[in-house]
Amino acid sequence: MKNYQDNSTSVSRRNFLKVSGGFTIGITVVGLVPQLTSCTEDGEDTREMVAKELNAWVHLREDGQIMIYSPASEMGQGSKTALPVILAEELDADWSDVMVKTSPIDPEIYGNAGFGRSGRKIMMNVGSRTVKGYFDSLRQAGAQTRYILLHSVSKTWEVPIEELSTEPSLVVHQKSGKKIPYGDIVEILDIPETIPEFSIDQLKNPEDFRLIWNESIGRVDVPEKTTGEAVFAIDVKVPGMVYGVIERGKVHGASPNLINEAEIRTQDGLIDLVALDYGIGVVANTLEKALEIKQQLNIDWNTDVLAAKHSSQEALESYSKLNQHDETRDLIEKGNVKQAMAKAAKVYSAEYKNDYVYHAQMEPLNAIASISEDQNSIEIWAGTQGPGFVAGAVANALGLEPENVKLNLCYLGGGLGRRSLHDYVIEAAQLSKAVSKPVKLIWTREDDLRYGMYRPMSLQQMKAAIDSEGNITALSHVITGDGSNLLASGAANEFYAIPNQEVKLNIVKNGVRLKHWRAVGHGPNKFAIESFIDQIANDQGVNPLEMRRKLMANFPRALKTLEKTAEMANWDTPPRPGRARGIAFGERSGALCTGICEISLDRDSGKIKVHHFWSAVDGGTIIQPDNAKAQMEGGILMGISSVLSEQLTVEKGEIQQSNFHDYQLMRMADIPESLEIELIPSNDKPQGMGEASTPIVAGAIANAFLALTGKTLNHLPFSPERVKKVLDS
Amino acid sequence: MPIFSLKVNSKSEEVNVDSGTTLLWVLREHLGLMGTKYGCGVGQCGSCTIHINGNPMRACALPVEAVSEGQSITTIEGLSKKGDHPLQKAWVEHQVPQCGYCQSGQIMQAAALLEKNNNPTREEILNHMNGNLCRCGTYMRIFNAIESASKEI
Ligand code: FES
Ligand code: FES
């Protein structure tokens, strides 16, 4: 049995000395005054102990404890642990000495530089870019911290720094055999005038990694997530706090006119009603009272909005016949598709569709806001993927200065893309301001679902040219739907040698709220691409594995995931009768993976059962292998859930589902018998693991279905009713 | 407002709330036991699972007046003294939680199973756990953790 130690604590630093990029030092006494209940300051160690701030990331305590800040929002992806592991590796820390704390919200220091573009550092956890984006800078910070320790020891021992080396949490002088624990260096700490930038070959050789890819390092947040002690925003209580809920329209954007205001205002326990453009806020003494009053509101909704004209299923049916769109974009043009089509031995075409899906993160949106008496500053408790953007968003909405907005970052009960927008935080702030009290705002599950922001529905029109040798010479992919770039991701085929490719995007505005949903456009786009490839392979009489082998011949990283997965799944031996396997390849945020599933079908009900799922992934350097596997597993199960049952529909603007009885997530009885993940060893830079596996699921299942029945599933989700229709067709 | 007497985690508690208030809000917002979570409010997700006299129940579906003083309520906070119930240990060993939000409910639901049946079959585990949703997709690990904990009991 693995004994994972508990390195967790999420404490924000009180005595933090602001540094601007460089290093500063101050002696901080870790000993704190009692706190409000909060998500960041529970469990503080109150022993008085001298600790030194080695730099903005690391505090070293005389008893040897090494506190490392993690700037990640933890939503289940594990980055809160992975980031300090990277730093601790270069610091050569003994992991059992490490304590992890959530960093202050200060993007200049703790931001992720991995968002390219401006080079600006930001604190935003999206697109599986956290580990990837921080990798270089945290290695550098770890190496520089180690340098400070070496320098201090070299001064005290009067030996050249070159003669010193490190072992876990020890500085060693080989020549004399002297060793000093890191904690003892606190007393002799001597921060050098200048600290070098280390080049890549001065950093640790991956062969020497002890912490990176170390199976015995568990996630720091796991222990407290088994005892109920982990604090999510919804769990925060602050003195004097009251409760807020908001009644929103069933049609996105509809504006309210409260008819029974006078009557409502007579209710005991009501503190105030707050009119918003799109809803009525109810603030009451207790949550139950707020919810009760919410139900009693009699609102006349003005639905003169775009969404009111939208009925999803009709709209989706109409997409293939539209000859006018709100906007058309050419996303990719490579080679000459037209010419290749004209010269083709055979041209294939097919259409794929997908309905809206909802995030369904298990913790409904919520936030706590506490406005100051003078209304000039506000304190927030929230789980957010973008902690660096909260101050700006709230300040902007309330007319405050951003420096007067303080965020306490809590655990996120799921992010999945939904918690990267701060509507719910702003709402809490607005309610708090309106009633001049701290307010806990909770979205009910119904609010969260109906006023959600969905992965857009879309139509994918595919066309391919095949030459006389069966090579795919051109691929045309036309995407139609609302959501602009949300539809675009994943349409490019960078790992298939298809000389002529084009991707077009037709935008049709529907007025429904849309958002990034785990892996974004990759879900629908990979579904279309991977299914289409199998349809072509099927018609050509080629094994789908063979077809992909050929396409990937020049892309060894991709090919390796294909070969490995095929081996794991025993692709060459037939499955037992009544079952079939399907294969699909995907890439997302730099991670490449192939998935193979084995399914059976209940022909009476139309229910597809996934029995096995195998996937090999190349995610570059893997920081935490077990967590990387957990991300792959979770992504596959979320994929199966969305592919087999999740469907959100809209009738004249009204969202038709309201809670988990009619928006169905996968349940435990439907899990596969096995779900195997292989991580392909690599010393390349880390890639994004959080979303890699979700996009491969739809194609793998559709392709297994094709192999099993000879029929194609071309509309997500593959609900039993839909499957039955296909079987009967 | 009426006063209700409850026995929660072996402690007697009194709460002054409107009748009709669900046990979930009583536990969380009135008694400060935040381990029990709100996920759906309609008995569909299992995040709010607690034990009443050892039986797994959905706190969101129980009005406070439905629980009598003589019944003993156990929440995740009261499952073990030091977070060392065999299931909690197995949860760490298998690194089950991702976001963690559903996990109190998962553990409480599983604990009620092992209390009655310390050698459950695959089918028994899957059926017993079917009412507890996990959006992060930790089901494979939940299953493995329950199996390994059952061997410790
Ligand atoms: S909150 Fe009680 S079952 Fe979902
Ligand atoms: S761990 Fe996130 S919902 Fe289960």
Q: How far apart are CA A692 and CA A598, in angstroms?
A: 19
- Burial class, A554, CB count within 10 angstroms (exposed 0-12 / middle 13-18 / buried 19+): exposed
Last residue of a domain, one of A442, A464, A483: A442
Same structural domain, B118 and B140? yes
CA distances from A666 to A128, A173, A607, B102 (A): 23, 57, 13, 14
Q: Inter-chain contact B25–A287, Cβ cutoff 8 Å?
A: yes
Place of tokens 């040219």: A465
Judgement on whether residues A250 and A323 belong to the same structural domain of the protein? no
CB count in 10 Å sphere of residue A622: 24
Rounded (5°) CA angle A540-A544-A545? 140
Contacts by A26-31 with C-beta closer than 8 Å and gap 24+?
Answer: A26/A52, A26/A53, A27/A51, A27/A52, A27/A53, A28/A52, A28/A53, A28/A59, A30/A59, A30/A61
Which of A75, A633, A667 shows the shortest C-beta gap to B99?
Answer: A75
Residue A484, sorted as left (phi over 0), alpha (psi -120 to 50) or beta, turns out to be left
A106 and A75 within one domain: yes
Phi, psi of A42 (to 5 degrees): -70, 150
**Pair A79, A72: CB distance under 8 Å:** yes
**Percent of chain A topping pLDDT 90:** 88
Mean of the pLDDT values across residues B98-124?
98
Residues A300 and A260 in one domain: yes
DSSP state of A64: S
| pLDDT tens digits, B30-54 | 999 999 999 999 999 999 999 999 9
Is the Cβ atom of A364 under 6 angstroms away from ligand 2? no
End of a domain among B78, B98, B128?
A: B78
CATH code for the domain in which residue A257 is found: 3.30.365.10
Q: Which of A409, A442, A475 is the last residue of a domain?
A: A442
In the block, which residue shows the tokens 């082998």?
A: A549
The one-character DSSP state at A552 is T
**Is A449 within the bounds of a domain?**
no
Digit-coded pLDDT (tens) for B49-103: 999 999 999 999 999 999 998 999 999 999 999 999 999 999 999 999 999 999 9
Instruction: Assess contact for A443 and A345: CB atoms under 8 A.
Output: no
Residues 416-435 of A with CB under 8 A from B: 416
Mutation site, A220, A418, A609, A668, interface B, largest B CB count within 10 A = A668
* Predicted confidence (pLDDT) at residue A256 exceeds the cutoff of 80: yes
Q: Residue A137 in 3-state DSSP?
A: helix
Q: Measure the CA–CA gap between B148 and A497, rounded to whole angstroms.
A: 47
Other Cβ atoms closer than 10 A to A395: 18
Tens digit of pLDDT for each residue in A14-44? Answer: 223 323 233 333 333 332 222 333 465 444 4
Q: Which CATH number fits the domain that encloses residue B17?
A: 3.10.20.30
**Do B91 and B64 share a domain, yes or no?**
no
Give the list of residues 6+ apart from residue A355 with CB closer than 8 angstroms, or none.
A312, A313, A316, A457, A647, A648, A649, A715, A716, A717
Residues A197, A240 within the same domain: no
pLDDT at A112 over 80: yes
Does the pLDDT of residue A54 top 80, yes or no?
A: no
pLDDT for res A8:
52
Report whether residue B100 contacts ligand 2, using a CB cutoff of 6 Å. Answer: yes
Instruction: With CB atoms and an 8 Å threshold, state whether A666 touches B88.
Output: no
Question: Is the CB of A362 less than 8 angstroms away from the CB of B136?
Answer: yes
How many domains, in total, are found in chain A? 3
Write down the pLDDT at residue A40: 54
**Among candidate residues B34, B57, B78, the one where a domain is terminated:** B78
Residue of A232, A414, A661 lying closest to B136 (CB–CB) = A414
Strand partners of residue A381: A368, A408
Q: Is A235 on the interface with B (CB under 8 A)?
A: yes
Q: Which of B25, B76, B135, B146 to mutate to test the interface with A (most CBs of A within 10 A)?
A: B135
Q: Is residue A409 part of a domain?
A: yes
Asked if A575 and A608 sit in the same domain, the reply is yes
State the distance from the centre of ligand 1 to the C-alpha of B64, rounded, in angstroms: 15
Q: Is the predicted pLDDT of residue A684 greater than 60, yes or no? A: yes
Domain span including residue B107 = 86-150
Question: Is the model more confident about A664 or about A52?
Answer: A664
Q: What pLDDT score was predicted for residue A6?
A: 57
Residue A35: what pLDDT?
A: 32
From chain A, the residues in CB contact with B18 under 8 A are 286, 288-289, 292
- Provide the domain limits for residue A408: 233-305+365-442
CB-CB neighbors (< 8 A) of B141 in chain A: 630, 633
Give the pLDDT of residue A13: 30
Rounded Cα gap, residues B129 and A430, in angstroms: 40
Q: H or E element: which one contains A52?
A: strand A50-53
Q: Are A249 and A349 found together in one domain?
A: no
> What is the model's pLDDT at position A116?
65
How far does residue A360's CA lie from ligand 1's centre (Å)? Answer: 13
Cα separation, A237 vs B14, in Å, equals: 19
Q: Is residue A222 part of a domain?
A: no
A492 inside 8 A of chain B by CB: no
Q: Which residue from B103, B108, B109 has its CB within 8 A of the most atoms of ligand 2, so it is best to mutate? A: B103
Q: How far is the CA of A42 from the centre of ligand 1 (A)?
A: 26
Q: How far is the CA of A642 from the centre of ligand 1 (A)?
A: 21
Last residue of a domain, one of A158, A187, A217: A217
pLDDT-based confidence at A55, cuts 50/70/90?
A: confident
A181-195, A269-283, A420-434, A489-503 — which is least confidently predicted?
A181-195
Express each pLDDT in A274-322 by its tens digit: 999 999 999 999 999 999 999 999 999 999 999 999 999 999 999 999 9
A493 shares a domain with A375: no
- Identify which of A226, A230, A634 has the shortest CB distance to residue B88: A226
State whether B16 and B56 are in the same domain.
Answer: yes
Let me know whether A191 and A249 are in one domain: no
ipTM of the assembly? 0.98
Residues A202 and A254 in one domain: no
* Each residue's pLDDT tens digit, A119-156: 788 899 989 889 999 999 999 999 999 999 999 999 99
Instruction: Assess whether B60 and B96 both reside in one domain.
Output: no
Please judge whether A76 and B98 are an interchain contact, meaning their C-beta atoms are less than 8 angstroms apart: yes
> Could you tell me if B46 and B7 lie in one domain?
yes
B138 in contact with ligand 2, CB cutoff 6 A = yes
Q: Can you say whether the dihedral through the CA atoms of B80, B82, B86, B89 is positive or negative?
A: positive
CA–CA dist A20, A67 (Å, integer): 20
Q: Are residues B95 and B72 in the same domain?
A: no
Q: Which domain-ending residue is among B34, B54, B78?
A: B78
Q: Does A490 reside within a domain?
A: yes
- A205 and A172 inside one domain: yes
* Contact between A405 and A390 (Cβ < 8 Å): yes
Whether B74 and B95 share a structural domain: no
Report how far residue A93's alpha carbon sits from residue A103's, in angstroms, rounded to the nearest whole number: 19
Q: What is the residue-wise DSSP string for A431-482?
A: HHHHHTS-EEEE--HHHHHHT--BBPPEEEEEEEEE-TTS-EEEEEEEEEES
What's the total number of domains in chain B? Answer: 2
